[in-house]
Structure 1
Amino acid sequence: MQFKHPELLYALFLLLIPIIIHLFQLRRFKKEQFTNVALLKKATLQTRKSSQIKKWLILATRLLALAALILAFAQPFTSPQSGAKKRVETVIYLDNSFSMQAQGTKGPLLKRAIQELVATIPEDSKISLITNNEIYRNTSIKAIKNDLLELDYTGSSLSTNEALLKAKTLFTNNSSSIKNLVFISDFQDNDNDFQFIEDKTLKLFPIQLQPESRNNIAIDSAFIEKENSGNLSLHVRLTDFDKSGNTVPISLFDQGNLIAKTAVEMNETSEAIFTLPDNQPIQGRLSIDDNSLQFDNTLYFNINKPPKINVLAINGASDSFLKRIYTPDEFNFSSTSESQLDYSLLDAQNLIVLNELQALPVALASALKSFLERGGALTIIPSNNTEIKSYNSFLTTYGLALNSFNNSEKRITKINYSHPLFRKGVFEKQVTNFQYPRVNEYYELSRSQGASALEFEDLKPFLIDSNKLFLLTAPLNEANSNFKNSPLIVPTFYNMAKYGLDIPSLYMIIGQPNRFDVKVKLGQDDILSMENKGHSYIPQQQYFNTKVRIQADNIPDIAGIYAIKNKEETLEYVSFNYDRSESRMNYIDISSLKGSFVSNSIEQIFDTIKSETKINALWKWFVIFAAALLIIEMAILKYFK
């Protein structure tokens, strides 16, 4: 038993006063003389004993009654917590990722959780609550009730460990307080085991909400392939996580108008193919009907009229292979010799190719450095008699340097498939055995602080990239190499040009690093915006002479097709979709999670928390006990003879 006001217990010393009075102020008996008192002796003795007992009983009841009143004013209580007087902090993590769209026994998991929170937690109880994209510090259910009822799903998903760390930041640094963390989620298996280290100052209450069914069909991805007939093939990949074998209709819309529809017989992974006209802009939307998760039933994409990429070759050797790659339908290709170079042309280029120049003049090196700083891409192909010193004064700025010329033959055998040049749309699968190109002579590198895209058989770089500077370590003339005849030549140089103007892809994924270029010349103080049906964003952007580089990592947060605008002028469209990692309905088994009280009921968890921190006030019982003692005293005075 504990006391709210223990200082009042000092009043118990006052009980000594009536005891002292009782001991020192006893009533004396007066003797009276009678002629014959023998018959009265027995009655006299009995009367004295009865009077003494009665007085002791009255003293005891009064002392007990007074003590009970003093204890009542000290407000005694009991609690299961040893530190019942400690501050109690409650933090709630509510998972509002897309996997919580799944249907439970009482509807969507998230909506059920919100309703139970509102109904279970007392309105004025102090709590802190976080979701994947919102934080409510030191508030109450009453204050955030409307926000909770309007809470929507978000594509900003957190792993269980990330959510745990985020929730812990809402607790104070008070080591003596009782900390309760209520973790409400479906605990989706995202290849990241839920790790909770037992902590005496923190109690974890995981609540796992699980759907009735784990059936889900999702539009996983889409990509474009060009056909010889001038058409495009749109390949759409669908995933059936339950392997139901059902037939699913899929519809293709352009600006809201249905332009094609087909049915796909589902396996674990299936594909639908649509034929689209080439060079026709499309603001596309793919859609299926599936009653499970809704966010992955739609995939947005767009095909813009591609801007032409400006490529300039500064030649010291034949550029015929470059002309075959940089065709007029996609590129504005121009070439010149170093002696006839117009330096004013450099600012307008997206890619500059130094094609086997013997030396790199200081003026050109300075101009190329400024060109790279403005976001352009540069490819350097050395010659057989390169003046290494003139090149290295430029290359060392980018962590590269040529060394001696090695006249031993080498084969190009390794492709770095993770390099941006080859990461997307180049290879259907990794090739380990192909017709290896060769070089007769090559340059060793004394510095190679970059990412190798292609390597020789001894793992020395053939093509290395450092901050959009692509350096080949061997001349490509026919006397030295057959690389021009290799199938690798086209995707390699084609994607180098794409590096100079990063055209938006078919679609981008929300929450991932998204960077693209918009070919436009802006006026002073002009900025680009992204707009879609009332949603408007101003992304992070960097202006160069002929383009604007947009970095859209954290925005937008809603899937759709967005117009890139300069004031009222629409320049092009970009599409954003939610990450499909939430589509897989696999869940972690948390039943054996140590140091926690696992449940699937919000009401049960909060009843447990309430019982562990509930204070049983006892002062009313002491008041009743004091009143009962007073009644007993009155009864003794009246009826005790």
Structure 2
Amino acid sequence: MEFVHPEILWGLCALVIPIIIHLLHFRRFRRVAFSQVAFLNAVQKDARAMQRIRHWWVLITRMLAYAAMVMAFAQPQLPPPSSADSSGINRDGHAISLYIDNSHSMEAQGEEGQLLQAARNKAALVVEQFSPTDRFQILTCDFSGKDQKFLTRAQALERIESIHTSQQAREISEVLTRMQSQLTKAIDSKRLAYLFSDLQQSTHALANEMDAPDTTISWYFIPELAGGSPNIWVDSIWFDEPMRIASRPAALRIRLSHNSNTAVSGIPMNLSINGDRVAIGTFNLVPGLDTDTVLRFNHGLAGLKEGMVSIEDAPIRFDDNWNFGFEVTDNVRITILTKQTNSETASSIKRVFATANGLYNAEIHSSWTPELIAKSKLIILCDWEPQGSGFAQEIADFVKNGGSIVYLPKYNQNADIQLFESLGLPHSGPWIETDDRVRSIQLNHPFFRNMFAEFPERIDLPNAKRIWNRKIAASEEVLASTELGRPFLSQRQFDRGQAFIFHVSGDPESSNLTRHALWIPLLLRMAERAYATPINAGEIGSLKRWTFAADVPNISELRLVRSNKQSNPSTKSNEDSGDWLPEVRQVPGQIQVLLEGLPIDPGHYVLSDLSHDWATIGLNLDRKESNHDAYSLSEFSSFIDQKGWNNVKLLSMTASSLPQVIEQSEQGISLWKAFIIFALIALAIETILLRTWKA
């Protein structure tokens, strides 16, 4: 217990006065003549003993009342339950850091209205409880550099008033670190930290490896909890086919996540491309399961496309749209590498692609360069000799970045060991002369999907007079096999690219493959699926670097420009649209754009120079808080207790009770009223005793 005015306690010394008076009080007796007092002796002794006891009780109650009054005027109080500044040094007032969670989850409604507005009101009340000479830091999810400084009380109130919803959602560990970094600069002040947040499970998990907050700082969590309401959000999208080709039909697959506990049917959804609605649909929700659906449309003309999938879901709307960009092409570059440029096999390959009305640009080369590989979508190795580790690594990188290769071996020639090892494929196996033919084709495989309108039961399939009896890797899939059970065509899928391996040569003496009717659809399908054209999309804050394939002559002229093709109001910026000059890095065949730190809003952006648009990307709000399940007060409090963070407290209160709680946390619990009440009780007891005895 502490006292505001401890000097008043000297008044307790006056308690000896009533004791002295009581002991020295001689009562004057009036003499009364009485005939015989012998029979009154016993009564007189009993009355004196009882009277003495009664006087002591009265004395005790009066002393207690007097002591309580003295204690009350000394203003006793209990110290704060967790005083981080145990030394009591307060040479420079207070240093207070306030974090207002302004992520999109704070747009929800709570008992006191919108969570963000309630948090701002309480933060302002906290600031007003301190002296104008105290220093304040106001921190939000934006982590702006201007917030890494102390403000005066007036400036802090003005900063709180200017807080709006942010695109970011921060982990609580990041917030604690940033607040602690600023408060450590106030060495000679009493340091306090207040965090106004909705305790989202996605951002407020206290991981085991999380460092404990500074014990010299008092930390207070003031939660703003929302009422429970289900939410639906677009999780991801993908196309059925890896490459988008002009005028071809397209199927866009959409995965929607939700946290609804009840089934919902007929929720509307639509797809717009370059601002035009091209597909609409509905979907149903099943509790506990994600929903996969599809929207079908036509790619139309070649060029850069800006897509947006939209759903209708109230009241939480920040995650109802998913912006994305992609490219539709009408020209696919194919490189045929062969040492025999005039061979029948090379000529046959080129003739096949010439039947596609200019869609494929096939070129035959007898040597390779990194630039040639980087510009290609499909590389066909026909009677190609081993080129060493440099070529093997280039091909491996090409495939991992989304390209495809086709390998046609040469009869009795050793396979390129380094190439196959870089692709993780076995290369050993002898050539066998036999009389074999293709017996089965995996028509259910995605590679053959929609290749044939109807596949006859009896069909003359390619034969194999000389076959490469190579061992198949566990990661390979056999697309066609012979009657003797040997692989004829196999495929290995990588992250984005793929490798097709024929086990016969293109030489007519080895097989009739290049003269068979199956040769044309096989090559055209390989070309259609040759390159995994990326879908350029990401979440603001999570997407740090955007990488895409391009050969830009001058990267210094590149700029990121906000597109205006999509007219949805929810994607418009809060600020004026403008251009950005991001940091751009160039590697062979690729451009890397650094997006971290750019003040961008959700929407579509085009990377362009003075004469050409190179790529487009769709940026979206972070889905981290889409599942807005929050910790209850008891759960979060138990987590703090399990961590053993004695200087971290959870304060649950309304705005009206906040000033009193702040005062108690700073000054302790005042007890003077309790002592006044105690004094009144003591005087009441004295009065009751006196009246009872008198009666």
Instruction: Report the Cα distance in structure 2 between the residues aligned to 1:464 and 1:291, rounded to whole angstroms.
Output: 41
Give the letter for the 1:276 counterpart: F
Out of 617, 622, 628, the residue aligned to residue 585 of structure 1 is: 628
Return the letter of the residue paired with 1:103: Q
**Aligned match for 2:336, one of 313, 321, 324:** 313
CA distance in 2, matches of 1:321, 1:337: 13
Matched to 2:140, the amino acid is: T
Distance 1:610 1:532, change over 3 A: farther
SS in 2 for 1:590: helix
Deviations 1:178-237 (A, max 9, x none): 443322221212287324747642333122211123222333343444699943234444
Name the CA shift for 1:305/1:146 in 2 (closer, same or farther; >3 Å). farther
1:103 to 76, 101, 109: 109
In 2: Cα distance, 1:236 partner to 1:366 partner: 37
- Give 1:270 shift: 4.3
Judge conservation of contact 1:117–1:602 (CA < 8 Å) in 2: no
State the distance in 2 between where 1:515 and 1:297 align.
Answer: 23
Cα distance, 1:506–1:377 mapped onto 2, change above 3 Å: closer
TM-score, normalization by structure 1: 0.60
Q: How big is the shift at 1:169?
A: 2.5
Q: Which residue does the alignment assign to 2:181? A: 169
* Match of residue 583 from structure 2: 540
Residue 264 (structure 2) pairs with residue 249 (structure 1): no
2:535 is matched with: 505
Runs of 5+ consecutive residues of structure 2 not aligned to the other structure: 5-76, 433-445, 450-466, 479-489, 565-576, 670-695
Does 2:277 correspond to 1:277? no
Asked if 1 retains the 8 angstrom alpha-carbon contact of 2:125 and 2:658, the reply is no
Question: Residue 564 and residue 177 in structure 1: after superposition, are their counterparts in 2 closer, same or farther (change >3 A)?
Answer: same
Tell me the secondary structure at the aligned position of residue 100 of structure 1.
helix
User: For residues 104-130 of structure 1, what are the alpha-carbon distances to aligned partners after superposition, in whole Å with 9 as ceiling and x for unaligned?
Assistant: 123321222112212331283312232
1:240·1:267 contact (CA, 8 Å) conserved in 2? no
In 1, Cα distance between equivalents of 2:491 and 2:201: 41
Q: Does the 8 A contact of 1:531 with 1:564 survive in 2?
A: no
Tell me the secondary structure at the aligned position of residue 290 of structure 1: coil
How far has the Cα of 1:609 moved from its partner?
A: 4.7
User: Partner of 1:293: helix, strand, or coil?
Assistant: coil
Name the stretch that deviates more: 295-304 or 359-368: 359-368
Q: SS of the counterpart of 1:134?
A: coil
Q: Which residue matches 1:121?
A: 127
SS in structure 2 of the partner of residue 169 of structure 1: helix
Instruction: Provide the C-alpha distance between the structure 2 equivalents of 1:586 and 1:131, rounded to a whole number of angstroms.
Output: 21
Distance 1:110 1:309, change over 3 A: farther
Q: Provide Cα deviations, 1:25-73, integer angstroms capped at 9, x if missing partner.
A: xxxxxxxxxxxxxxxxxxxxxxxxxxxxxxxxxxxxxxxxxxxxxxxxx
In 2: Cα distance, 1:169 partner to 1:455 partner:
55
**Contact 1:90 / 1:181 at 8 angstroms: preserved in 2?**
yes
Aligned length: 495
Among residues 195, 206, 212, which one is paired with 1:183 in the alignment? 195
Alpha-carbon distance in 1 for matches of 2:275, 2:423: 51
Counterparts of 2:555 and 2:536 in 1: how far apart (Å)?
30
2:364 to 312, 330, 336: 336
Q: Could you say which residue in structure 1 is the equivalent of 2:548?
A: 517
Within 5 Å, which residues of 2 pair with 1:375-390?
381=407
The answer as to 2:605 corresponding to 1:562 is: yes
| Cα distance in structure 2, aligned partners of 1:362 and 1:513 | 35
Paired residue type of 1:441: R
Deviation at 1:314, TM superposition (A): 0.8
Query: C-alpha distance in 1, partners of 2:529/2:618?
Result: 24
Secondary structure of the 2:182 match is coil
| AA at the equivalent of 2:89 | K
Letter in 1 for 2:172: T
Secondary structure of the residue that 1:167 maps to in structure 2? helix
| Equivalent residues in 2 for 1:23-42, closer than 5 Å | none
> Structure 1 residues 119 and 307 mapped into 2: Cα distance closer, same or farther (>3 Å)?
farther
Quick check: 1:356–1:475 contact (8 Å CA) kept in 2?
no
Q: What is the TM-score with the length of structure 2 in the denominator? A: 0.56
1:353 has 2:379 as partner: yes
The question of 1:527 aligning with 2:558 is answered: yes
In the alignment, structure 1 segments of 5+ residues that lack a partner are 5-76, 410-421, 426-437, 445-451, 617-641
Tell me if structure 2 keeps the 8 A contact 1:249–1:263. yes
The residue identity in structure 2 corresponding to 1:293 is: I
Alignment of 1:55-134 (within 5 A): 82-86=86-90, 88-122=94-128, 124=132, 125-134=134-143
Listed as ranges, the matches of 1:187-586 within 5 Å are 187-190=199-202, 193-195=205-207, 197=212, 200-225=215-240, 230-242=248-260, 243=262, 245=264, 247-256=266-275, 261-268=280-287, 269-270=290-291, 273-280=294-301, 283-302=306-325, 304-306=327-329, 308-315=331-338, 328=356, 332-336=360-364, 338=366, 341=367, 346=372, 349-351=375-377, 353=379, 355=381, 357=383, 359-360=385-386, 381=407, 405=428, 440-441=469-470, 454=476, 497-498=530-531, 503-505=533-535, 507-510=537-540, 511-517=542-548, 519=550, 521-522=552-553, 525-532=556-563, 534-543=577-586, 548-552=591-595, 555=598, 557-567=600-610, 569-586=612-629
- State the one-letter code of the partner of 1:567: L
Give the counterpart letter for 1:100 in structure 2: M
Distance 1:218 1:2, change over 3 A: closer
Give, in angstroms, the shift of residue 605 of structure 1.
6.2
The one-letter code sitting in structure 2 at the alignment partner of 1:538 is L
> Which residue identity does 2:637 align to in structure 1?
S
Percent identity for Structure 1 against Structure 2: 15
- SS of the equivalent of 2:160 reads helix
Q: Are the equivalent residues in 1 in contact too, given 2:412–2:431 (CA < 8 A)?
A: no
The DSSP-based 3-state class of the residue aligned with 1:220 is strand
CA distance in structure 2 between the aligned counterparts of 1:142 and 1:408, rounded to whole angstroms: 86
The residue that corresponds to 1:619 in the other structure is none
CA distance in 2, matches of 1:298, 1:579: 11
CA deviation after TM superposition for structure 1 residue 133, in Å? 1.9
- What is the distance in 2 between the residues matched to 1:400 and 1:263? 43
- Partner of 1:592, secondary structure, is helix
Work out whether 1:611 is the aligned partner of 2:658. Answer: no
Q: Is the 8 A contact 2:269 2:281 kept in 1?
A: yes
Secondary structure of the corresponding residue to residue 287 of structure 1: strand
Determine if contact 2:110/2:225 at 8 Å carries over to the other structure: yes
- Structure 1 pair 208/357, CA: closer, same or farther in 2 (3 Å)? farther
- In 2, distance between residues paired with 1:225 and 1:465? 17
What secondary structure, in the 3-state scheme, does the structure 2 residue paired with 1:562 have? strand
CA contact 2:337–2:365 (8 Å) conserved in 1: yes
Matching residue within 138, 148, 151 for 1:137? 148
Instruction: In structure 1, give the amino acid aligned to 2:470.
Output: E
Structure 2 residue matching 1:194: 3-state secondary structure = coil
- Return closer, same or farther for 1:3/1:321 CA change in 2, 3 Å cut-off: farther
**What is the alpha-carbon distance in structure 2 between the residues aligned to residue 326 and residue 597 of structure 1?**
74
Distance 1:408 1:585 in 2: 62
Offset of 1:377 from its aligned partner?
6.1
Distance in 1 of aligned mates of 2:498 and 2:615: 29
Counterpart residue number, 1:430: none
**Whole-angstrom distance in 2 between the partners of 1:561 and 1:164:** 33
Report how far residue 294 of structure 1 moved: 1.9
For the residue of structure 1 that corresponds to 2:638, the secondary structure is: coil
* Alignment check: 8 A CA contact 2:192 2:218 kept: yes
In structure 1, distance between residues paired with 2:308 and 2:556 = 34
One-letter code aligned to 1:578: L
